Amino acid sequence: MKGSLQTNVLHVAHVLDIEDSIRACLDAGIGWELIVTGKGPFSVEDNLSVIRKIEIGVLVTKDGGFKGASLKSWKPQGLRTAKL
């Protein structure tokens, strides 16, 4: 993550509002102003709200078995996607 922050591309983390998640973001070099927190599970509409508000163009997600939002559900939003 630290290397990718040098690309001048805005990186935003959408994580659970728990200390471990926030600390992982900060340790990865993501500043407080780029961390969006909330209480999961995040629905498709929750995620779409963040995507629209911040005007996200690329979505990188974990393979966590989240039932509400498969990668194909983001395609109609014009997002490029990647799963870790």
Check: CB of residue 60 under 8 Å from CB of residue 54: no
d(CA 11, CA 45): 20
d(CA 32, CA 48): 21
The answer to whether position 1 is within a domain reads yes
The answer to whether position 64 is within a domain reads no
The answer to whether position 53 is within a domain reads no
Diameter of the chain measured on Cα atoms: 33
Where does the pLDDT of residue 3 fall: very low under 50, low under 70, confident under 90, or very high at 90 and above?
A: low
pLDDT of the residue at 4: 58
The answer to whether position 23 is within a domain reads yes
Domain count for the chain: 1
pTM of the model: 0.64
User: Tens digit of pLDDT for each residue in 34-77?
Assistant: 898 888 777 778 878 888 888 877 777 776 655 555 566 666 66
The residue segments making up the domain with residue 33 are 1-40
The answer to whether position 83 is within a domain reads no
pLDDT of the residue at 18: 93
pLDDT of the residue at 5: 57
- A 10 A CB-CB count for 74 gives 19
Sign of CA dihedral 45, 69, 77, 61: positive
The answer to whether position 76 is within a domain reads no
Enter the tokens of residue 26: 């900060």
